Amino acid sequence: MDRMITIIVPVYNEEKGIAKFIECLRGVAPNETFELILVDGGSTDKTKQICRDNDVKVYESPQKGRARQMNFGAELASGDVLYFLHADSIPPENFVKDIQRNIERGISSGCYQLAFDPNHILLGVYSWFTRFDIDFFRFGDQSLFVKKEDFLKSGGFNESLDVMEDQQIVKDLKKIGAFTIMDGTVKTSSRKYLENGVIKLQVIFAIIVLLYYLGVSQKIITDFYSSQLRSVMKL
């Protein structure tokens, strides 16, 4: 039996790309029914108006922060399957069927492998590793589906985390039910890598992961992240 899927997307100042994102998302699943909820973290541009102009539900999160925004979206969701997706990422065609099929197989959560657009040889190497079920390579860009009941059991995204909330919830979900890495890839924008340097940004992310596992405070990690980039990017 097919289940209603609610797609939850945290957004913040996305006016340059949000209309294209909505169009692309609908384009890869033109014949499927799903609920799309965008949760805004206090945008100061035209993000919310563009969403409404495209007949997409957009809600104001009580607090900014990806974990908080996604948890708020889950509270609003009417679907019994949640699919968390970033605003610069597009899932493959038939993603709705992929999720439905895995749910029917008894899989309670999972993600796709990763691809970058435009591609880069070093990013291709990085994305190749996302096919393996190793938590070190689990990031939000790969998207995440989960049965809502299991999401609630896990406690949702840890709102005390400004970074690494995506890896943490995968660990939590694996304790509750079966997790899978689906065939196919989510295409995510490589803009932030190209703007800041592919190798540089990869090194920064590796340091962030290391600091997280060493138990370094979120403030120190986020301050380090922001200080290393030429342009300020949301976490």
- Give the pTM: 0.91
- At residue 191, the pLDDT reads 83
The two structure tokens encoding residue 29: 């699943």
Closest CA to 196 of 142, 232, 234: 232
Q: What CATH number labels 5-190? A: 3.90.550.10
**167-180 b/e with 16+ CB inside 10 Å = b?**
bbbbebbbebbebe
Top pLDDT among 123 and 144 is at 144
pLDDT over 70 (residue 10):
yes
Angle between the N-to-C axes of helices 198-213 and 121-128, in degrees from 0 to 180, rounded to the nearest 10: 30
The 3-state DSSP class for residue 210 equals helix
- At residue 194, the pLDDT reads 83
d(C-alpha 60, C-alpha 11), whole Å:
10
Phi, psi of 115 (to 5 degrees): -140, 155
Q: Which residues pair with 179 in a beta bridge?
A: 109
Q: What are the boundaries of each domain within the chain?
A: 5-190
Average pLDDT, the chain: 90
- At residue 108, the pLDDT reads 96
- At residue 231, the pLDDT reads 44
pLDDT over 70 (residue 230):
no
Q: How confident is the model at residue 88 (pLDDT cuts 50, 70, 90)?
A: very high
For the chain, percent of residues with pLDDT exceeding 70: 97
Q: How confident is the model at residue 84 (pLDDT cuts 50, 70, 90)?
A: very high
d(C-alpha 135, C-alpha 5), whole Å:
25
pLDDT over 90 (residue 192):
no
pLDDT over 70 (residue 234):
no
